[in-house]
Chains A and B, each alone.
Chain A
Amino acid sequence: MAIKEPERIWWKPFTRDERLWVAMALLWMMGSFVFMPVYHFIGAQNPPSETYRVRDHEKFRALVDGMVAKYKVGEDKGVPVVKPEPGSDVFMQASMWQWYPVLELEKGKTYRIHLSSMDITHGFSIQPINMNFMVVPDYDYVLTLTPTTAGDYYIVCNEFCGLGHHLMVGKMIIK
């Protein structure tokens, strides 16, 4: 009994049912275990892992400002709209409580989007397609991204970042 000491010898062979069940479960688990790395290669998209250290927030901010100065095409609610060259490095800055700037990207073109935070941790959640990544201060996280559908996308912050957390919404326009 689970509440009493078992008899002296409890190391007994498994019965047929037990062997069958454990074999099935083991097979299933091994299947999942093999499939996870396999899918990394055959799947269409994986979470990226390209990361750089950001030792100085001002340097990242300078990259963002440089990009804004060079590629600004307008403003949306006071936030600059930037249309960078396809294939280029794009910078997106998170801070309490703003995503900066607004990006205008071309459908079918690939971009390297650098995400970093100027203060605390934020969550980069692209809606309505619902894809989610973390933005951690002092690190530059590179998403290699190819938009496939035109439209307006919003970036919701989905990691708690203080009292204005629910105000932190950014925008991405795919044309």
Chain B
Amino acid sequence: MDYRICSLTGLKINKPAEDLIKWNMVTAILFLAIGGFMGLLMALTRWPSVHYLDTSHYYRFLTLHGFDALLLWILFFEVALVHFTSAVLLNTRVVAPFSAWIAYALMLVGAAFVNIVVFAGKADVLFTSYVPLKANGVYYLGIIIFAVGAIVAFANFFANIIQARRDKAYQHSLPLGTFGLAAASIIGIVTLAHGAVIMIPVFFWSIDLIKYIDPATYRLVFWGLGHPSQQINVCAMVAMWYMTAGFVLGAKPVNEKLSRTAFVLYILFINVASEHHLLVDPVLSSWHKIINTSYVMHLAVLASMIHAFAIPASIEVALRNKGYTKGLFDWLKNAPWGNPAFSATFLSIIGFGFLGGTTGVIFGTEQFNIIRHNTFAITGHFHATVVSGTTIAFMGGTYLLIPYIFRRNLVLPKLAAIQPYLYAIGVAVMLIGMMAAGTYGVPRRHWDITFSNAIFSFSFDPSADMFLSMMGVGGLFAALGGAMFIIISLGSIMFGRKIQ
């Protein structure tokens, strides 16, 4: 068999696994580069005194920003983690490299279809593509192909661990990182199948083979896909936190039972809680919405609360074992703040928990949603979860894996040490600006909030302008931090000093 032993970790790395991780990771980073650049253009357009793009380019690039950053960057990275946690952590192999490459190819073709058709101006529908807003059929076809590819990729995870069991690569239980990705893969298969189910009829509708798609049903099924698919990200992100703490500090989960139960809570409960997108929609009854958004969701939040305890605790224990035992916070002072894999993880925990989780719980309540739905505050909330949380965690993961998988040292280590801070602060300033502007009623996805050519003109409280400028400044810093990440990660992959 084709294996090498990693000199840094002692892990047995299977060649096909290594190649798959490399390709998926590089693809993810390239889509983050496109998506992040579009994000910069968004921030520059929503910044009132800059107002950079014209109307049609704004909506076109907004569609791309949502799609490339949210779906492509994150899912390609997760597929890299699928192979890392199943084949590499278990010191075993990718069972069916062929199907894993098919999955990669499908995802790439689907992604290319969507990018091309959006760039060509044939699908200015934003990534939610609410029916009956219609895009060119290629757009929906691209999404379907991409989703099928991602389902195959997640299925590979299970094939790998079944084989690992046969090969006696593990005895009784999976490592926690692998367990977390198992949760992500289960949710991934379920939600992406959902996505394919709604996009197939919509594709036929777009080429006039089906006459009618019910707009309310589309919204329900789309968010049935869309929201739970964010839990793939949560599970993968939390698994990344545990793994980084393990690799960098040798941290052990303080209680495996606790952490594993929390992952199971995610699988069981978060899937259902998707109707907070529909709280101020017609059709569903109040009880339907309340049960969905209150009862089940809170048990998933409980899971996040458990991780919020378990991960810092494990980090503290590991650092105390290293001898940093003076007082209450000696361990915290002596944590490896200059190691970007560690600092990114730490920043991600803080950002996700304090900015993302809290606002999610608040905006998801029935009455509060009336005053936040579709305002810029929502955009603030999900940048806290998917950017401050998932994206920063995966940036840390990239720094962690470049030496192990690409066998290269990071280039520009000084820059790498500050990159997570710069990015995290930029994003935090940006999203706090968004949230504050949203409280004045400033809508998301809107090209001209001065309504200068509308028949009735109306102006928001002037403070909103200040917060939008704050968003713009934060966005600039975030874009700078993002560009540094792209340069450091791709630079290291290509030119980093080789590790033997």
Interface residues of A (CB under 8 A from B): 1-6, 8, 10-12, 14-15, 17-18, 21-22, 25-26, 28-30, 32-33, 36-37, 39-40, 43, 45-47, 49, 51, 76-79, 98, 119-121, 123, 125, 127-134, 136-141, 154, 156-163, 165-171
Contact = CB atoms under 8 A, between A and B. Distances in A.
A33 B374 contact: no
B115 interface: no
Given A18-B254, A132-B280, A33 B298 contact: yes
B53 interface: no
Given A45-B367, A130-B371, A137 B132 contact: yes
B306 interface: yes
Interface stretch (B98-106, B185-193, B382-390, B438-446): B438-446
Contacts of B458: 127-128, 154, 156, 169
Contacts of B370: 45, 47, 131-133
Given A45-B367, A132-B372, A166 B447 contact: yes
Nearest to B297: A33
Nearest to A159: B374
Return the 8 tightest CB-CB contacts between A and B, nearest first: A130-B441, A2-B242, A36-B294, A141-B282, A158-B443, A10-B256, A25-B305, A154-B458
A6 B132 contact: no
Interface residues of B, number: 90
B324 to A, nearest CB: 19
B283 A167 contact: no
A77 B255 contact: no
A134 B220 CA distance: 13
Interface string B208-236: 00000011100100000000000000000
Interface stretch (B30-38, B169-177, B408-416, B474-482): B169-177
B298 A132 contact: no
Given A49-B282, A130-B375, A165-B445, 9 more contacts: A11-B257, A14-B257, A28-B305, A36-B293, A125-B443, A136-B282, A136-B283, A154-B458, A156-B441
A1 B456 contact: no
A170 B446 CA distance: 16
B246 A1 contact: yes
B175 A5 contact: yes
User: Per DSSP, are chain B's interface residues mostly helix, strand or loop, or mixed?
Assistant: loop
A125 B443 CA distance: 9
A95 B285 CA distance: 25
A51 B282 contact: yes
Contacts of B243: 2-3
B456 A6 contact: no
Interface string B274-288: 000011111111100
A128 B371 CA distance: 11
Nearest to A31: B298
Contacts of A169: 451, 454-458
B55 A163 contact: yes
Contact of B448 (A22, A132, A166): A166
A3 B177 contact: yes
Contact of A138 (B214, B252, B260, B375): B214
A21 B174 CA distance: 26
